[in-house]
Amino acid sequence: MSRLFLATSNPHKTHEVTTLLGSPWQVEDMLSHPGITLPEETGTTFEENAIIKAKGGSAALPGVLVMADDSGLEVDALDGQPGVYSARYAGENATDAENRLLLKERLRHIGRNPAQYFPARFYCCLALVRDGQLLHVATGTVEGWVSMIQRGKGGFGYDSMFYPEGFKKSFAELSQAEKNTLSHRGQAIEMMKSWLDRNPQP
């Protein structure tokens, strides 16, 4: 088994990455390494923040392959917000519910119809680092709509407000397997996986 440290404390992300990378990979995260802290996400792009997190994790784990994900939701009618601020849209320690509430408020200001759907996308950037050296970057996007109407109990973050293109269900109503086949993270991981297959000992 190959060891990979995912620089996140979000168990949903770890679950998605573990499932998508498959059995040759033993994925560890910050919940299994509580002593590791990551630098502040001071970047203005998903890529900058993914690299900051991956290099931060790598500084604590010499010799280990470290991957970080930076992801978020971009709403066209809000000029791309919440974007890189998705996790802290309603404040530094905001919960997912608080972030969704703020997004609903912002949408209410621009849309007269509460059932309106606004074009949006999830974006994900993955950075792979070993010993502080950036090895590869992979990205993924899923287009769709956000709505003030929340549906479904699964997932995390903005899942219950996001309706992927071509589907009548929100991300929170899809099974994990269905979400993985079309999600931004699923696509980015597929790209990273194929790079790892082509570079077996990066």
Q: Which residues of this protein are in contact with ligand IMP, per CB under 6 A?
A: 10, 69-73, 86-87, 99, 122, 155-159, 171, 183, 185
E strands in 55-177: 65-75, 81-82, 117-130, 133-147, 162-164
Of 70, 96, 159, 197, which one is the catalytic site residue?
70
φ, ψ for residue 72 (rounded to 5)? 175, 180
Residue 157: which region, alpha, beta or left (left: phi > 0; alpha: psi -120 to 50)?
left
Nearest distance from C-beta of residue 115 to ligand IMP, angstroms: 21
For residues 4 and 17, which CB has a smaller minimum distance to ligand IMP in the complex? Answer: 17
Which residues lie below 8 Å from residue 189, measured CB to CB, with a gap of 6+?
A: 16, 17, 20, 21, 126, 138, 140
For residues 84 and 135, which CB has a smaller minimum distance to ligand IMP in the complex? Answer: 84
Nearest distance from C-beta of residue 155 to ligand IMP, angstroms: 6
Q: Helix, strand, or coil here: 73?
A: strand
Q: How long is the chain?
A: 202
For residues 81 and 183, which CB has a smaller minimum distance to ligand IMP in the complex? Answer: 183
For residues 2 and 181, which CB has a smaller minimum distance to ligand IMP in the complex? Answer: 181
Any catalytic annotation for residue 79?
A: no
Nearest distance from C-beta of residue 179 to ligand IMP, angstroms: 7
Q: Which residue is nearest to ligand IMP (CB)?
A: 157
Which amino acids are annotated catalytic? 70
